[in-house]
Structure 1
Amino acid sequence: MKIIKYILLLPLIAGCKKDEVKPEADIFYTVDIADKTVTFTNETSGAVSYRWEFGDGATSTEQSPVHTYPEKGKYVPTLYATTKDGRVSEGSTVIYIAKTSPVKLNDNSLADWDNVSQYVLTSGAGEKFFRKAKFDYDASYVYVYLEVNSTEANGDIYDFYLDTDNSTTTGLLTSIPDGGYDVLLEGNILGDWLDAFNHKGAQNAFSFEPSGATEHFQVGTKVQSGGVLKFEMRIVRSKIKNLAATTAFRVGIMATKSDWSAGLGQIPDAGQPSLLINFE
Structure 2
Amino acid sequence: MAVYAIGDIQGCDEEFSQLLTRLSFSPSRDTLWLVGDLVNRGPRSLDVLRRVKALGSSAISVLGNHDLHLLALALSPTEPVKSKDTLQQVLAAPDRDELLHWLRHRPMLHHDDALGYTMVHAGLPPQWDLSLAQACARELEETLRDEHSCRELFAHMYGDQPDRWSDDLQGFERLRFITNCLTRLRFCRADGRLDLKFKGEVKDAPKHLMPWFQVPDRRSRDVRVVCGHWSALGYYDADSVLAIDTGCVWGEKLCAVRLDRFPPAPVFVPCSSSGLSVGSE
Q: TM-score, normalised by structure 1?
A: 0.24
Q: Which has the higher helix share?
A: 2
Q: TM-score, normalised by structure 2?
A: 0.24
Q: Which has the higher contact order (CA 8 A, sep 6+)?
A: 2
Decide which structure has the larger Cα Rg and report it.
1
Q: Which has the higher strand share?
A: 1
